[in-house]
Structure formats: C-alpha cells, structure tokens
Structure 1
Amino acid sequence: MLLAVMSFVQTAQAAIELDRPEALVTIGDEFFDTITGTVVDEVGEPLIGVTILIDGTSKGTVTDFDGSYSLEVEDPNATLVFSYTGFATQKVALEGRSSIDLTMEASVAALDEVVVVGYGTQKKVNLTGAVTALSGEELEMRPIASVGHGLQGLVPNMNVTIRNGDPTSEANFNIRGYESINGGDPLVLVDNVPMALERVNPNDIASINVLKDASAAAVYGARAAFGVILVETKKGKSGKARINLSTELSAAKPIFHMDPITDPYQYALARNAANIRTSGTPSYNDEFLAATKAFSEGTGPEWGVQDGTLQYYGFNDYQNQIMTDFAPQQKYDLSVSGGTEKASYYVSIGHLNKDGYLKPFNNERFKRYNGIVSVDFKINDWLTLEEKVVFNSQNSDKPTFYHWDVNINTLARQHPLDKIQFPDLDFYLTPGDRPQYEQYIGEYFGGTNFFPYLRDGGRRTFTINDTWLTQGVNITPFKG
C-alpha cells in the first residue's frame, strides 16, 4: 500500500432521559495535560486496542501495536478506565501523575459472558469451539465509515483487507488463513440475514461474534467453510425512554509511505545511478541532465527539444494537483429506546457523509442513510414476538476511471519528469510549427496519467436502497 490514512476526530454526544428534570449532556472540551503509558497482559505482552476512557466522560483513546497510548486530560486528578475484551476493567486515579503503566488481568467473569453460536447462545466457559465476541461499544470510539474498517485489529486470527478508501467497496475478511487457492470469505449474517457489513450503521450494532472453526458448518453448512461473522443489532430495553444523539466530525489525511521527489535534476541523477547499476547505461544523457539542472536552478526553460523530440525538464507537481490535504467525514446518529416488561422498542436513524481524497473539482462524494425500527412483544414467559424493519440507502458520485487501485497507488511513484498535459508554446520542434500542434494544447499524455479520466471521463453515480422486513418468534418452553 502506498497510501495510508490518518484521522483526526472530534465528537459530541448527548444522552437524555425523558423522566429526569435535567438533561445529561457530554460534549468534548479542550485538554491541557498529556498522559502516556503502556498496557500489557500478565506475561508482559503488549495489548493492542485497549480502550482508555476518562471516567464519567466519553473522551478516550486506544492503545497502539506496542500497547502504548497517549491521552490529553484537563484534570490532573481524573480517573482513567481501562477495558479490554477478556480482561477485568480497571480504574486508575491519576493523582497528578503524567505516566500510567498498567498490567491487565484476565477476567474470570468473562467466562460467564454469553456469546451467539448460531444455534442459540452459550456461556464462554461451556464453549468448545473458537469464538470471538465483541460489543458494539468497541466500534464507537473509532472514526470509521463502515463496520469492516472498524474490525481491523479487534478479532484475533481474522485478517481485514481494505483495498482503498472507497466507502462503497467491501472489506475482505479472512479467518485463520487461506484454505483454498481461490481464497474464501466468511459468511456474514446481520440478525440472521445475509448482508454486507458496509450497509450497516456501526452505531446500531449491539454485538459481533466471529465463529472461526469447523463447528460453524454444523449449523450453516458449506457456506460456513471459511467461518461466520454474526452481527446483532440493538434492541430496546425495559425502563425509561432514552434518547441518544451523537455527532462526529473527522478528517482523513492521505499519507505517502515514500517521499515523492520534487526536484527533476535530483530525480534524473538517481534514475541514472539506478539504471547504470542494473543495465550499465544511464536513462538520461548529459544534455538532458544539464537542462533539468538549469530548470531546478531557475535559469532554464520547462520544455525543450533534443534530437527532434519535445522534452520536459520541469516539475509536474502531479501529486498535489490530484490529492487533497484532508478528506472530511460527518456522521450523525439519533436513537430512541425504551419499553415495559411486556414490550420494548428501539428506533434509530443515521447519516454518513464522506468525501474522497481528490481535489474538490472532481472529488468523490458518498452518502449513506440508515434506519431501523425494532419492537419486541413478550406474550408470556415462554413466547416473544419480534418485529423489525431495516432501511439502508447508499448514494455514490465519483469520477469515471478504470483501475482505481492501480492509478491511486501509482500516484506516489509518478516521477516529476512525466509529461502530464500538452503545453502551450511558441513552437514545438521547429520555429513556425505551432499551427501544426496547437490542436493538441490542453490534451493529456497517456501512460499511468489518469488526469484524462478525472477531468473528462464524466461521473459514475448510483443509488442502492435496501429494505428488510423480518419477523420472529422466540419460544423457550424450558429453562436452561
């Protein structure tokens, strides 16, 4: 991969209980002190993805691949809450300290955690298969456009591959290594309905269970040969009506894993050195080197003629002409839930707006709308009726071009001497030949240059709407 994404996020959340005289509102504030540290397990191995929150707030962070973290706080006497799947949650008071290193202990209570295994639910202590259980809360702290992006690094032995930043492209999942020369994707079920994870609002997820071994095939058959990902959406709970409103604004910055060369003379020297080592001959002759050096020093022209061929000696600034500095993303979610002992409800609507990494004049634009209505009726102690309506809508508007992965990843390798656009010159090969070539002024050169597609290739737009209506009956005639 030649491009990576760094995200900066600011979130605001509000939670309101209707029966309380005052509304509880939590909004991100400015911070003053930075707390750092490392989180490891009982044998000293770093823990990746440990959630660290300031107690009583939604402000926090997660540990990186080395188990390290950094968190800004405004109260030197605040308390940090460390939580991680399978480990006991711990609270640590800062007491004025700026560094907190923690060793987390495995939670015995985690063995009593209930996980979904396809044919029902079981406690972890009774499981004989390989299952990983995640709660929806583990996705809430991540500035993600889809669930597939959020699962990276959370499930042991599951590889998540994101081909590019296009939010309409689905993530590829692989559980416990490739078992076929043709690969193999796990079966994905959302509330027992096959569905792409990219169409699910991460805010509506209650839990994710990943079945990794052959025991899943006993329930789902051959479709489960490469594992099963079970997603359960949220449901209403008995109690007071509760309204949750969350907003998120993030900005993703494209990062080049290699530094593009911007000086044409330095590039020509490096290219010559590389070619001499491999083939014994340079790529550019002395006359060409002298011309690029003159341009770099500000004393020579951008275009010239050598041996009857139009040559480019300048700096095309290819990367900056195409890529933007930041790609904004906005996310809004509103949910209402509540119920009584006999009935419960959960209603949620969500909106995601995400721009791509191209310059605004030809950028990608993506919008997603999600809605869910879930109602449960408890007829008696052993009979429950379930009703659910799910609506998903995706709208994509982007330039039409081919081989997106090749072009966007080749972007960093595009050298400064590539000819991008036919120039407007007094003459091209010989004085007086402008009338012969002026018809090409403004046209683009070929090769890996994909400006022609971005500027003149038109737009590709589509809207996908899905509506899912499900009904269920839950019968538990016996306890156990």
Structure 2
Amino acid sequence: MKIFLLFIGIGLSSVYASHSTAQTRMDINVENITIQNLFKKIQEKSEYVFFYKDGTIDSDRKVSVKLTNATLQDILNRVFPANGLVYELDGRQVVVRKKPLKIPDDAEAPQAVQGWEVSGTVTDTEGQPLPGASIVEKGTDSGTQSDFDGNFSITVSDQDAILAISYMGFVSTEVPVNGQSEINITLKEDVANLEEVVVVGYGTQKKVNLTGAVSQVTSEALENRPVANMGQALQGVLPNLNINIPNGNPNATPTFNIRGGTSLQLNDDNPNNKKFEFQTGSPFILVDGVQMDINMLNPEDIESISILKDAASAAIYGARAANGVVLVTTKKGRRSQKPRITYNTSFQYSRPSARPGLLDAYTIQEAAIKAVELEGRTPSGDMYETLDAIKAYRDNPEENQPYIMSPGGSIIWVANTRPYDEAVRNAAPMMKHNLSLRGGSERNTYMVSLGYQDQEGIYKINTDKFKRYNVLVNVGSEVTDWLKMDYQVSWNNTVYEEPIGPGGKGNWWNALGREPDRNINMPIKTPADSPVGEMYTDNILSFMSYGANRKSVNERLLMKIAPSIRLLNNWNLKADFSYMSRNYRKKDVLPELLRVEKDWDNLTNAHTSPSYIDKTSDRTDQYTLNIYSDYAATLGSHNITLLAGFNQEWLKYEHLRGRGEGILSPGIPVINQTTGNEYAYDGESHWAVRGAFYRITYNFDNRYLLESNGRYDGTSRFPTDRRFKFFPSISGAWRFSEESFAGFLKPAFDELKFRAGYGSLGNQNVSNYIYIPSYGTVSQVQHLFNGTRPIGITPPGLVDPYLTWETATTLDLGVDMTLFSKLDLSFGWYRKKVKDILVDGDKYPAVLGASSPTKNSGEIQTTGWELEVKWRDQLSNGFRYDIGLNLWDYQSEVLSFDGNPNKIIDSGNRSGGLYEGAKLGDIWGYETAGIFQSEEEIEAAPSQELLNSRWFPGDVRYKDLNGDGEIGPGENTLENSGDRKIIGNSTPRYQFGLNMNAFWKNFDLNIFFQGVGKRDFWLGHNMYWGGMAGSSGTWDVYNNTWTPERTDAYFPAYKNKGANRQVQTRYLQDASYIRLKNLALGYTLPKEVSQKIKVEKLRLSASAYNIWEYTKVPDLFDPELMSADYPMMRSFALGLQVTF
C-alpha cells in the first residue's frame, strides 16, 4: 500500500510540471507515392491523424521520402515546403493547409463583398472542437476552415445560402443558413472512415489489421437505455455474445457466454437426479485488465467493450480464455481538455411483462367437481357445500365468514383472495443519478465518476428494494518524457433487501400461483371475530407479510497502478499491479410465525425449524501483477510488433457463517440474542495462476498480415507435475482490396479482407483441490460409542494421478468488407473442439468403499457462424441514420463420453442424457396423436397402461412409434427409446439484434430489436398446466380444455393427471420471438440556447425497455424467461443530461 501511495504522489506532483512533447519516431522509405498515401503510412506507424479539406492537396503530385528514426516534423518538413503546404499540431491531430500567398504591400485592396456573415463553432458529439473543419457555401468556391477552438466565420451570398461542412473521419453535413448569423454544428464520427482502434489482449490494434475474431462496441451504442446492469445493456448488441438474464429481480445477475457449448458439468441441484449436462460457461471478463463481475459496474462508466471469440485472439490469456474473453475499458480523462462536469439522471417505472390471470375460488372448486365427474365418479356432498359457501362469501363478504367447519371440526376455507393483486405493485420506480468530472492538462488526465441507483422491486408486501453505489477515479500523468503513470481506484456496493420464506428465499412469483386451497381460498388473516381473533393463516401471503427478510450486501474495492516506461523509440516497458477485495454479507431473519391452518386449537409454527438468524460473511482478496514489453519496427514494407510479458495472480477466499435458533426478540436480530441451538461454519481456500505470454504480428505492405499469440500457463488447481502447459495460436489475413490488381473492385469496395485462425486454449475452471483426496464427515454415525453417536469420517474418493487440463481448439474463418464507405459487413465461421473434459470414470464395486475417480475423457464440438452488417448514410436535408444487424447461430454436440456406456437418454442416473451424438438442448418426448373422444377410441388404440392404469375421454392419446402395441419409454436408452424420439431442441437458434439510429437537427432516435429465430421449449411448469397439475390455473388455459361440449379444445380435460403431461409434441412451445428491446428519443438544446443558460449541453430523453414482443409463447410467460420466476420487466424512463 505504501508503494501504491508513493507512486500516486509522484504522479500527482507532476500536474503542473513543464511539458515537453514526446516524439514518436519512425522509419519511412517510400518512392513515388501521393501525399495522401504518405499520410496513410504515417498513420499506420503512429497515433497521428491528418485533417485537411478537399482541394488542399494535389492528388497527382508524387513524393519520395527515405528517413530513419525520424520524427513527424522531420518527415513533413522534408515534403511540405516544395508542395506549398503547412501544418499545425494539436496532440495527435495534424491539420494541413495550403501555404498562404504573400500579398505585395502595394497590391490593390479588394473591394468589399456584400453578403451575409455567419459565425459559429464545429464540434464532435461530446462538444470537443474540430480544428480544420471545412465550411463551404454550397454551389460556390467560397469557404473557410475552423480554427483550433473549432470557431469559424464566413461571408455567404445571402440569408438563404447552404453551408456544407466536412471533416476527415466525420460524416459531412449541410446546414441551411435561414437568416441566422450564428450556427453551431455538431459532426458525428464516421466509423467507416476512421482507422478504428480495437482493444485486444494487453494492447490495441487497428481494426483493419485484425486477424482474429474480435467484436467491439463503444459507449455510444450503450447510452440512453433504461437498464439496471451491463447484461441488459449488452443483450443482442454483439454477435455470439449470449446473455442470459435469469429473471427480473433487481439483484439478478445476467450470465455471459461466447459461442455456445463450452464443456460438460455435473448438475447436482437435485440430489435425486444428479447427471452430467452441457455447460455454456462464462468467458474471462477483465475490466481495465482486472477480473471482476461486469454487472457491478455503472454502465455510464464504460468506454468500450471488446470480445475475443476465437483462440487466435484469446490465446494470450491462456488457461482462463477457453470460453472467450470480454475486455471492458472504462472512461478516462482527455489531455488538454478543460474540466467538464456531466450530470445524468433518470426516473423510470417498471411493471411485469407477463402477469397470470388466476381463476377465482368458485371456478377452481367448480372445476374440481367436474374433474371427478369426467372420470365417472360422483362428487361428495362436501364439495358442493364448499362451492355454495365460496359463492356466498364472494357475493356478500360482510354477512359471511371466509370459512366453514367440516363435520369433523376442521376448517374449510372459502375466501377469494387474489394473491398477485395483494402482493405485486402496479409499477416499481427506479431513480438513477450519475455525476462525472472529466478533463486534463497537457500532461495529466482525470476522470471521476459517482453513481447511485435506487430501485424498488415489484413486491409491495415486506421489503423488496435494491441500491447500488459506484465510485470510479482514473488519473493519468506524464511524469517525465519517458515515464507515464496511470492510477485507478474504484468502489462498488450493492444492497438488496427481499422477503424470504422457510428454508431461505422462495420463488414468490411461482408460489403465489400454486396451491389454490392456501393462496386463494385462505385469507391472509383470520377475521377478528374468529375463535382465535385476528391471526395469520397458512396463505403464502402471510409468509411474505410477517417480516421474514434477507439483506445482502456485495462490496468491491479496487486499487490499481500502471507505470509505463519508454525505453527507446518504439520500445516500451509496461506494468500494472492491482489489489481487489470483495466482501459479501448476508443476513436472514426468520421470526416465529404462529398461524392457523386447519384447526383452531392447534396453532402451528410456519417453519420446519425454529425461528432463526443466519449470517454469512465471504471475503475475497485478489492480487494481480502484469509486466510486459512491446516493440514495433518498420523495415521498408515490413512491419513487425513484438509483445512479451509475465502474469501472476493470487486469490484467497474466506467464508464464515453463524446461525442462532429461537429469536428472543424480533426487534434485536442478533445471534447472541437467540435462545436455541447455535452453529458456526468456517472455510478457506486459495488458488494462483502464473503465465508468460507473447504476441507477434507481421504486416507486409498492409496486405499480408500474420499474428501469433500464446501463453505458457500454470495453475495451482492441478498436480504439481501437470500444472503448466503451452497454449499457442496463429492467424493470418489477406487484404485483397490493397492488391494492385484489385482495382476492379473500386469504387464499390473500400475494404475486402479474408482471415483465418487456429489455436488452443486451456480450461482451469475446476475446483481448487480436485487433485487431492479429501475426507468427508458424517454428523452422527449409526453406532453408539460410550452412549453417544460421534462424528464420523468417510473415506476419500479415488483421484486420477493423470488429471490435466481441458483443452479447446478453434478453427476460425472470416471475411470483412466495407462498400461505398457506407456498408460494413463481417462474416465468420468457426468450429471449436473441447477435449479431455472431466467426467466420471468407470464404476467400481461398492465393496471398495470409495467413489471412482474423475478422469479426462469427454469431448464436445461446437460449430457456428456470425454476421455483422451496418449501413450508414446522410440525406441532403441533413438527416443521418444508421442500421446495424447482428445475427448468429451455433450447435453443440457430444463427440465422446465414457460415463454413459448404455446410452441412457434421461433418468435419475447422473450420466443419463449424454451420449455420443447428443446435441445441446435435445428434447425427448412422445408424438401426440390427439385427444381421446370416446371409450371406443380408447379401446381401439394402443395400450397406454404403462403411463397410467385408467384412460378416459378427454385424455391425451400418444402415437405408437415402434409398433409394439403399447405406449411407453422402452428401456430408456438410445437403442430402445420406446415410443419417444427427439421432438425439438431448446438451444436458441438464429439469435439477432437489430439496431437503428437516426439524427435530425437536435433530435436523436434509437430503436433496438432483439430476438431468437428458432427455439423449442417444454413448459412443464405448474403455472402453465394449472388445475391439471394441482395449481390455481389461468383463464386462458381453463377456457381451452376438453369437455364433452368442447371436443375441439387444445388442452385435455381439466384434471390433475400426470400422464396427460408427458413431454410431447402437442404442447411443445415455439419459443422464438422478436422484441422491441429499446426505444429512445432525445432532444439536445441548440447551442445558442444552452449558452444562454450557462451550460455546455443539455439533453432531454424519453425511453422504454422491453415494451413489445411478437411470440407464440402463452401470455403468462415471458419468451426470454420461460419460467414462473420473478418476472421480466417493462420499463419506461425520462432522462436529463447536463454538461457544464
């Protein structure tokens, strides 16, 4: 820490030091080329960008230059005097003008020109001045250029003239004067014309020089969206970045995946059904070079996001890049920029995208009576008595009680509670505030950002609230001509409070729609004149109401220092060291809840265990060190860059949990104020990685590009003799459009590049101590020793001594092109194989007393493609627009899996469901023949007694696919699957994002669609089937169920019969959808108006999120969620942005 503070002191002490511009040196050896091509050569070798207006440079004039280790000034001073040119430097910007003519002293003064004088400024979208912009009166030769502050003044012919404004790298525009004397113009960057720089591993590269599969999005594409986290902001924006938003919970954490299936994993969520499944693992996510959770970031702080999708680009990260890499860059200050304060705020409200319309109590009871009749039985008198009591209370609750008593003295509840109306808000508000300070001097830059988000959840009972705090400080300083220091301090904190139920947090949305005898027939509390007075009942709303609560706090602190030393020209030594601590704290308070269930005399505690307080504290300390050096050299047409470095990371995790039962006083929720059993749990783990990495790029004449990335990586998670492995890659590209014989492509093709890459990556995402045999414990053995049952120890499982890395190899082919300076197109195809996946080994006899070892024997393959298309244009009236499409697809299959020799297709067996040839998302089921209409049809059909002993009209009829005369699953294997087959696939196919932007005068509009082109889904959820699965049910389903009078219904008879709900073709859902993900309209005050109110920029906006979709999914489900979890939200927001 002292070293960290010392470096900060050194950097800050240089804020007011004198400045000496660092001189970039380069070798130039060109013959007989145009000056424009000379500029391109210089831009390829440096960070300089040239700006000049049309007509400044003679396009026919050729020059020759041969200089070694020369500065920019050396080169331009050699070329410009003979060609009548002068230049001015502003940072990395070079403004080129014609040398002004010297007017003799005795020359006759020109006569004054009558006309209309217009002045103003030319800036970019962030308000930065654009020096050297060309301002010309349309249809004339009269023109001028903006000065270094972007100011200009021009005299035009009359008040109706039109100004044509252009600037290299920006979209040209035309502005009518319309009698104005002051016009301020904002130009938008033209990405097609800029030599776009893309963030890659440990550096940046120009987009035209990329040989790997890399996609990038900048902050501009993510702005003005009413989203709560980065997962929502990025969904559909980048091709093959698959984002799963688990639900609409304010604290939900979206998960990321790149290019589909990544491995196999053991799913042991259900202890009775453990089995290996496909894994779509998360990529390695780095924020300014440090691994962290991207969802804790403030979206306002992001500058750009790159994804490295193939081994060729990700190999430099080695062992943790098997699932791809996401590189996040935060915003920094800008040199020579005056302090700029920006305040962003928005208010939004949200409501569930889908809300079930539950049946009322009377209909539910009536359906229960009909279900008995449909099976030829006679309903009991109690059922009719209950029905009458429900009707009486519904029609006149003041004169009737919400219960009746059975002859046996039990309570029969007859209320008509509406659980979703009672528990869910009509709208949940959210406020966001962000304040930033950004700027810099000639030698220093700074960026300070403060963010706050206050979001209410949808539940109005108990507490459902989320808050997030963000602080980011980025400081850069040129201490000397050869030493640069960057510092970062960031702090993120989230706090979430939510209601919980017995056993921890429950899925309340699902629970509200289940068990109608509790949630609908029961009131929340008994009437005051009941035998027990007013008291909670067993209704699920009671659990939400009485105060059981969870508060979780997630905090992260990062401190980072990054020195950079210029050893020689084009040779730099860089390093960064960071310390990050993460603290997670959770506190559950579950007070005692005595409630009435079925008996007035025997009140029961609502919990299976006593009331309790449970506290958890997790702490993670992580240290990261990177040291690397880069060198660039040019020898004629040969350009080479070298990068080599070292990485070391250490991580320590500590877990502490305490629990006390029997809360003495709910007002003092601390463990030492409990009266029952107390428990304590403690755990600790460590891991470390170490690696040496490199990158070599070779570029011949900007036509032939080669690149190799690699890493020799080691991890503590494998045995000492197998911890290190080398992961190399190679890629290349051919810029066909730069060939001399490719002139026939012009002017249509500005860029045409073919690329290919191949490489391998390791996967160290296994448990920390998988290679160490570990004993287990049993709380109490079965035998008594000295009158007690002591703690027992179980023998460790066997460990394979040859455990090693999973290895992923990727082949990638692609083509990138730009046409007419307006259309960008990129297409890529890939095949990824993952071998040596850890799976269960051969089964050993139980007499051995130990489990069989895990071994490297699984193999999967993923094949896919991705397409990026973007079109941009501007109309003559100044209207600008762009349209971008991202489209991608992938499929994953098993190539090898020893853990399922019998090829069981699904079962409680942990290896069931995977076999050679199985595809990710396969759905096995029966083919539906229809619904039985009569007893005669049942008698004539193949027997279905293996599924259920009795069948009636209104039940589902299945097809006999194997022709054996009976419907069943066979041996449940691939060879004998009975009458089941693969009926669909749940993998999202043909995912897409369609983004449209429009700009006209001071208005801007964004429209963003996102969706899935093909997906099958089996909805086995109780909320869907309603009374056919013992749940409350919805009107849409109930009104489309079979009855003797409604034989053409979609659903079978409304009765609880599991055999009707077998996975089958009839009720397989088409889960494809297209959704209007974002719609935003903004208005920026004209410059002359904002200046009058003393602000630099003021923008108003209105936006909406998840506001519309087209899908065939039933209305009670969201097509993204497809479950009865905390629902996805529709959001509407108003925003204000002010810059001073």
Given the two structures, how large is their TM-score scaled by the length of structure 2? Answer: 0.30
**Aligned residue in 2 for 1:375:** 475
Distance 1:287 1:163 in 2: 44
**Alpha-carbon distance, 1:342 to partner:** 1.9
**Alpha-carbon distance, 1:92 to partner:** 12
**Aligned residue in 2 for 1:423:** 526
Higher relative strand content: 2
Question: Runs of 5+ in structure 1 lacking a partner?
Answer: 1-55, 59-87, 94-106, 428-433
**Aligned residue in 1 for 2:223:** 140
Q: Deviations over 1:155-200 (max 9, x none)?
A: 2222222233444442211222232233221111111111112221
Q: Deviations over 1:43-95 (max 9, x none)?
A: xxxxxxxxxxxxx999xxxxxxxxxxxxxxxxxxxxxxxxxxxxx989999xx
The AA in structure 2 aligned to 1:139 is L
Aligned 1:395-414 pairs, distance under 5 A: 395-401=495-501, 402=503, 404=505, 406-413=507-514
Are the equivalent residues in 2 in contact too, given 1:265–1:293 (CA < 8 A)? yes
Which of residues 516, 535, 540 in structure 2 aligns to 1:442? 535
Q: Give the match's secondary structure for 1:410.
A: helix
The AA in structure 1 aligned to 2:331 is K
Are the equivalent residues in 2 in contact too, given 1:111–1:124 (CA < 8 A)? no
Distance 2:510 2:171 in 1: 42
**Aligned residue in 1 for 2:546:** 455
**Alpha-carbon distance, 1:333 to partner:** 0.8
**Alpha-carbon distance, 1:418 to partner:** 4.0
Distance 2:486 2:349 in 1: 39
Cα 1:221/1:273, change in 2 over 3 Å: farther
Distance 2:371 2:320 in 1: 50
Distance 2:415 2:193 in 1: 63
**Alpha-carbon distance, 1:125 to partner:** 2.9
Are the equivalent residues in 1 in contact too, given 2:493–2:556 (CA < 8 A)? yes
Are 1:469 and 2:469 matched, yes or no?
no
Q: Give the match's secondary structure for 1:149.
A: helix
Q: Deviations over 1:22-59 (max 9, x none)?
A: xxxxxxxxxxxxxxxxxxxxxxxxxxxxxxxxxx999x
**Aligned residue in 1 for 2:214:** 131
Are 1:194 and 2:277 matched, yes or no?
no
Are the equivalent residues in 1 in contact too, given 2:213–2:313 (CA < 8 A)? no
Are the equivalent residues in 2 in contact too, given 1:175–1:212 (CA < 8 A)? yes
**Alpha-carbon distance, 1:108 to partner:** 7.7
Which of residues 454, 460, 463 in structure 2 aligns to 1:363? 463
Aligned 1:205-284 pairs, distance under 5 A: 205-238=302-335, 239-261=337-359, 263-272=360-369
Aligned 1:280-299 pairs, distance under 5 A: 285-298=383-396
Distance 2:263 2:443 in 1: 49
**Alpha-carbon distance, 1:230 to partner:** 1.1
Question: Runs of 5+ in structure 2 lacking a partner?
Answer: 1-123, 127-169, 176-189, 266-278, 572-631, 634-640, 642-1140
Q: Give the match's secondary structure for 2:546.
A: helix
Higher relative helix content: 1
**Alpha-carbon distance, 1:249 to partner:** 0.8
Distance 1:335 1:274 in 2: 64
**Alpha-carbon distance, 1:145 to partner:** 1.9
Asked which structure has the greater RCO (Cα within 8 Å, sep 6+), the reply is 1
Aligned 1:36-185 pairs, distance under 5 A: 109=192, 112-182=195-265, 183=279, 184-185=281-282
**Alpha-carbon distance, 1:256 to partner:** 3.1
Are the equivalent residues in 2 in contact too, given 1:111–1:123 (CA < 8 A)? no
Cα 1:341/1:273, change in 2 over 3 Å: farther
Distance 1:200 1:140 in 2: 14
Cα 1:412/1:216, change in 2 over 3 Å: farther
Distance 1:363 1:465 in 2: 21
**Aligned residue in 2 for 1:385:** 485
Distance 1:469 1:456 in 2: 39
Aligned 1:4-19 pairs, distance under 5 A: none
Distance 1:281 1:174 in 2: 55
Are the equivalent residues in 2 in contact too, given 1:305–1:311 (CA < 8 A)? yes
**Alpha-carbon distance, 1:397 to partner:** 3.2
The AA in structure 2 aligned to 1:254 is P
Q: Which moved more, 1:146-155 or 1:411-420?
A: 411-420
Which of residues 408, 427, 448 in structure 2 aligns to 1:347? 448
Cα 1:120/1:276, change in 2 over 3 Å: farther
Are the equivalent residues in 1 in contact too, given 2:500–2:506 (CA < 8 A)? no
**Aligned residue in 2 for 1:102:** none
Larger Rg: 2
**Aligned residue in 2 for 1:70:** none
Q: Give the match's secondary structure for 1:109.
A: coil
Q: Give the match's secondary structure for 2:475.
A: strand
Distance 2:376 2:306 in 1: 55
Cα 1:186/1:311, change in 2 over 3 Å: same
**Alpha-carbon distance, 1:298 to partner:** 3.5
Distance 1:363 1:193 in 2: 34
Cα 1:274/1:343, change in 2 over 3 Å: farther
Cα 1:271/1:384, change in 2 over 3 Å: farther
**Aligned residue in 2 for 1:39:** none
Distance 1:279 1:91 in 2: 79
Q: Deviations over 1:325-380 (max 9, x none)?
A: 22111111111111133221111111111122121x62223222211221112356
Distance 1:193 1:391 in 2: 14
Distance 1:139 1:353 in 2: 20
Are the equivalent residues in 2 in contact too, given 1:204–1:348 (CA < 8 A)? yes
**Aligned residue in 2 for 1:304:** 404
Q: Which moved more, 1:133-142 or 1:416-425?
A: 416-425
Distance 1:456 1:279 in 2: 47
**Alpha-carbon distance, 1:407 to partner:** 2.2
Q: Give the match's secondary structure for 2:385.
A: helix
Cα 1:108/1:337, change in 2 over 3 Å: closer
Cα 1:386/1:425, change in 2 over 3 Å: closer
Are the equivalent residues in 1 in contact too, given 2:214–2:307 (CA < 8 A)? yes
Q: Percent identity?
A: 35
Distance 1:89 1:407 in 2: 52
**Alpha-carbon distance, 1:116 to partner:** 1.4
Cα 1:422/1:240, change in 2 over 3 Å: closer
The AA in structure 1 aligned to 2:546 is R
**Alpha-carbon distance, 1:202 to partner:** 0.9
Which of residues 411, 419, 423 in structure 2 aligns to 1:322? 423
Distance 2:226 2:447 in 1: 24
Distance 2:563 2:246 in 1: 40
**Aligned residue in 2 for 1:83:** none
**Alpha-carbon distance, 1:134 to partner:** 1.2
**Aligned residue in 2 for 1:10:** none
Q: Give the match's secondary structure for 2:507.
A: helix
The AA in structure 2 aligned to 1:326 is A
Q: Deviations over 1:86-140 (max 9, x none)?
A: xx989999xxxxxxxxxxxxx8817942221213222333323322211122332
Are 1:332 and 2:430 matched, yes or no?
no
**Alpha-carbon distance, 1:290 to partner:** 3.1
**Alpha-carbon distance, 1:222 to partner:** 2.2
Q: Give the match's secondary structure for 1:469.
A: strand
Q: How many residues align?
A: 368
Cα 1:281/1:201, change in 2 over 3 Å: farther
